């Protein structure tokens, strides 16, 4: 192909003008959906678009944690992942449902986990310290009158936050977490008792000898326990697998213990049943039929809270946002829409296979228990 000198000059000139104009178009489109640091803070680059990622100082500025904003809306939701010491990654399903409905969500890796700083300081790994971290993150992100969502350990953290800082909350979601460690242990013991005889006997032997690092212990958990109570999909979603790869085992062991079946760490004895009545924030308590949290405990929590309702996903387990996805997000979106009746997309249009029915109408009215 032959191009004469005039054509070449015209081509170069046209390309240069097009390239010069392109950033202006992209900048205009990105201004409402990205995070740009305008004042030097020593942590985030100034004037650079970061796809919603922002590092927030915690522990009085000594460390920093990773956050990522997705979507844009008047209702802002901070997501607390489980563990302790798992990552935000298994919550990535939220991005498929909440931002398209007009909600602004914030993923967040807690200190010690994944994208956040991972200091080697055991004194940091306490519930009280993590509670104050959530408040530091809220302030760092500038969130006021926001929705706090907590799953599993994150639900425990959300309860603690609501008891101390509920003046900041527009709404609260406690997902797949009972109000005490003992309630949780009672439930997992009942699930464990249903294991096939040989696996149950072996598991008991390994626990008696505290041989938790034995490959056979992990095999029984991964092949028999977790597929029943953690995630019932086969195969597991990639985001869930990624989360398990990134767990900080030292923090998990210090706070939880050596296993999902025993709590020997510093969370042992946690109990907030008597304080639930003090949470006045509008609250959704979510559970699932096959979860490691007893659905009866989820219902009891909602009954004890003055402005709460419970939802039980009939086909789901601990990760019901994956293995009972349509029902899980139907109820979550319905609850959020009632907190801020704005121009939101319909629930049915955002949950695959979902058809409107009377169940999705129950929120903070007379029907308090849904499934």
Active site residues: 152, 291, 318
Q: Could you tell me how far CA 61 lies from the centroid of its own chain?
A: 24
Q: Could you tell me how far CA 4 lies from the centroid of its own chain?
A: 60
Question: Across 90-160, where does the E strand assignment appear?
Answer: 104-109, 146-151
Of the candidates 142, 134, 69, the residue with the CA atom closest to the CA atom of residue 99: 69
Label residues 278-293 b or e (16+ Cβ within 10 Å = b).
Answer: ebebbbbbbbbebbbb
Please give the structure tokens belonging to residue 162: 């609501």
β-pairing verdict for 53-58 and 63-70: antiparallel
CB 143 within 8 A of CB 67: no
Separation CA 49–CA 38 (nearest Å): 11
Separation CA 28–CA 188 (nearest Å): 52
CB 342 within 8 A of CB 75: yes
Separation CA 213–CA 215 (nearest Å): 6
Separation CA 318–CA 141 (nearest Å): 29
């Amino acid at each position: 192909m032959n191009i004469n000198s005039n054509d070449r000059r015209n081509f170069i000139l046209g390309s240069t003008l097009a390239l010069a104009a392109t950033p202006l178009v992209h900048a205009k489109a990105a201004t409402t959906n990205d995070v740009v640091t305008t004042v030097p803070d020593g942590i985030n680059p100034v004037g650079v678009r970061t796809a919603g990622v922002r590092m927030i100082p915690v522990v009085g500025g000594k460390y920093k944690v990773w956050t990522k904003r997705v979507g844009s809306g008047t209702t802002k939701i901070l997501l607390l992942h489980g563990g302790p010491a798992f990552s935000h990654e298994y919550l990535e399903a939220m991005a498929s449902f909440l931002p398209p409905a007009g909600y602004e969500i914030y993923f967040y890796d807690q200190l010690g986990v994944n994208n956040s700083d991972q200091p080697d300081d055991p004194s940091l790994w306490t519930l009280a310290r993590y509670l104050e971290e959530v408040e530091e993150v809220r302030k760092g992100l500038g969130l006021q009158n926001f929705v706090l969502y907590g799953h599993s350990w994150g639900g425990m953290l959300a309860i603690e936050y609501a008891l101390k800082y509920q003046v900041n909350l527009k709404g609260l979601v406690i997902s797949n977490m009972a109000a005490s460690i003992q309630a949780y242990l009672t439930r997992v013991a009942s699930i464990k008792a249903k294991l096939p005889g040989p696996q149950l006997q072996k598991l008991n032997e390994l626990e008696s000898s505290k041989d938790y690092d034995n490959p056979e212990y992990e095999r029984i958990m991964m092949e028999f326990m977790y597929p029943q109570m953690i995630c019932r999909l086969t195969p597991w979603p990639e985001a869930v697998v990624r989360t398990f790869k990134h767990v900080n085992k030292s923090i998990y062991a210090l706070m939880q213990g050596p296993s999902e079946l025993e709590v020997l760490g510093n969370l042992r004895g946690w109990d907030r049943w008597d304080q639930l009545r003090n949470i006045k924030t509008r609250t959704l308590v979510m559970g699932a039929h096959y979860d490691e949290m007893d659905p009866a405990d989820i219902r009891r929590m909602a009954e004890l809270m003055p402005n709460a309702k419970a939802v039980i996903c009939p086909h789901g387990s601990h990760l019901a946002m994956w293995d009972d996805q349509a029902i899980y997000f139907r109820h979550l979106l319905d609850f959020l829409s009632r907190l801020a009746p704005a121009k939101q997309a319909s629930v049915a249009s955002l949950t695959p296979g979902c058809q409107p029915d009377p169940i999705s109408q129950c929120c903070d009215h007379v029907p308090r228990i849904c499934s």
